[in-house]
Amino acid sequence: MRRVLILGGTAEARALAARLADLPGVDVVSSLAGRVTEPRLPAGEVHVGGFGGPDGLAAWLREHRVDRLVDATHPFAERMSASAAKASRAAEVPLIALRRRGWGEGEGDDWQRVPSLAEAAARVPAGARVFLTTGRRSIPVFAARTDAWFLARSVDPPDPPVPSNVRVLVARGPYTVEGERALIRDHRLAVLVTKDSGGDMTRAKLTAARDARLPVVMVERPRPPDGVRTVEDPAQAAAWVQGFGTVGG
């Protein structure tokens, strides 16, 4: 029996868990951070909550005799990815990262790529009405721009108090192009600020922004930890789990 720990509650993590749960000789455990109120649960066993940093994760890997570790966290979960890489080396458990492909510009798009949330906030024009889709934890970074107004969408409500220049829209994808067009129109939005999360679940906002000729401020992804092999498809990750890898690749 080969035991696999999948880190993350992404759609790719759930797809991988579903694939592995159907395989004979594979015991799959998925770890969710517990930050979302009602997460979509994957197939197989589920662990909710953290591990106590890389040392705690390494100890958990050894204690539960994990044979393969898959980092399928959000592309912007930089701290968790770093912990996974350190724990993999410490526990000598092979690791692979599963990351959906990032977004790319098409004809008619007007994107500005920036390296950080702080730089994205600095690029917001004075007086702009902004469609903000960078997550509830980023709201304070943008709310400091009191000369702009933000429609901030998130899966769960942010911690109170909500700044006066921010209106929160609690919603969960997938979203439709028509729905995104309506938000842009009804709220008179002039700029979209988002992160390069990739995937299809939230891509509709980019199409709607292009149709409405809205500029997009796109926060680039952090680089994965050095030495960690990355794949884009759950099928590739499942094939790796069934084969024999080496630590860090």
Please tell me whether residues 94 and 8 are part of one structural domain: yes
State the Cα angle at 192 between 191 and 195, rounded to 5°.
145
CATH number assigned to the domain comprising residue 131: 3.40.50.720
Please tell me whether residues 68 and 133 are part of one structural domain: no
Alpha-carbon distance of 34 to 37, in angstroms, equals 7
Using the structure block, give the residue that is written with the tokens 């066993």.
45
- Tell me the average pLDDT across 128-147: 96
Instruction: Answer yes or no: is 66 within a domain.
Output: yes
Alpha-carbon distance of 1 to 130, in angstroms, equals 51
Q: At what angle do helices 204-211 and 177-186 cross, to 10 degrees?
A: 50
Instruction: Answer yes or no: is 249 within a domain.
Output: no
130 closest CA partner among 147, 113, 154: 147
Confidence of residue 103 (pLDDT cuts 50, 70, 90): very high
- Tell me the average pLDDT across 200-215: 96
What helix, strand, coil percent values describe the chain, rounded to 5? Answer: 30, 20, 45
Residue 189 structure tokens: 């939005």
Instruction: Answer yes or no: is 106 within a domain.
Output: no
Please tell me whether residues 200 and 174 are part of one structural domain: yes
* Domain around 176: 111-219
Task: Give residue-wise pLDDT tens across range 1-16.
Answer: 889 999 998 999 999 9
**Residue 218, H or E segment:** strand 216-219
- Tell me the average pLDDT across 144-159: 95
Task: Give residue-wise pLDDT tens across range 51-88.
Answer: 999 999 999 999 999 999 999 999 999 999 999 999 99
Instruction: Answer yes or no: is 191 within a domain.
Output: yes
Q: At what angle do helices 11-21 and 234-242 cross, to 10 degrees?
A: 40
Give the pLDDT score at 122. Answer: 98
Please tell me whether residues 144 and 210 are part of one structural domain: yes
Instruction: Answer yes or no: is 147 within a domain.
Output: yes
Please tell me whether residues 115 and 204 are part of one structural domain: yes
Q: When comparing pLDDT for 3 and 249, which is higher?
A: 3
- Tell me the average pLDDT across 161-176: 94
| C-beta of residue 74 within 8 angstroms of C-beta of residue 177 | no
**Percent of the chain residues past pLDDT 90, beyond the cut:** 82
Please tell me whether residues 32 and 88 are part of one structural domain: yes
| C-beta of residue 93 within 8 angstroms of C-beta of residue 7 | no
Instruction: Answer yes or no: is 122 within a domain.
Output: yes
The backbone torsions φ and ψ at residue 223, rounded to the nearest 5 degrees and listed phi first, read -75, 145
Confidence of residue 41 (pLDDT cuts 50, 70, 90): confident
Please tell me whether residues 63 and 115 are part of one structural domain: no
| C-beta of residue 237 within 8 angstroms of C-beta of residue 73 | no
The backbone torsions φ and ψ at residue 191, rounded to the nearest 5 degrees and listed phi first, read -145, 140
Confidence of residue 138 (pLDDT cuts 50, 70, 90): very high
Number of domains in the chain: 2
Mean pLDDT of the chain: 93
Alpha-carbon distance of 174 to 106, in angstroms, equals 21
Please tell me whether residues 92 and 123 are part of one structural domain: no
Instruction: Answer yes or no: is 247 within a domain.
Output: no
Lowest model confidence (mean pLDDT) among 30-44, 94-108, 143-157: 30-44
Please tell me whether residues 44 and 115 are part of one structural domain: no
Please tell me whether residues 205 and 137 are part of one structural domain: yes
Residue 32 structure tokens: 């969710």
Helix segments in 22-101, DSSP class H: 53-63, 78-91
- Tell me the average pLDDT across 185-197: 98
Let me know how many helices (H) and strands (E) the chain has, helices first: 8, 12
Instruction: Answer yes or no: is 78 within a domain.
Output: yes
Alpha-carbon distance of 20 to 14, in angstroms, equals 10
Helix segments in 78-145, DSSP class H: 78-91, 117-123, 139-143
Give the pLDDT score at 248. Answer: 43
93 closest CA partner among 51, 123, 41, 124: 51
Q: When comparing pLDDT for 157 and 22, which is higher?
A: 157
Alpha-carbon distance of 113 to 196, in angstroms, equals 9
What pairs with residue 192 in β-bridges? 131, 216
Please tell me whether residues 200 and 230 are part of one structural domain: no
Please tell me whether residues 129 and 209 are part of one structural domain: yes
Task: Give residue-wise pLDDT tens across range 222-238.
Answer: 988 999 999 999 999 99
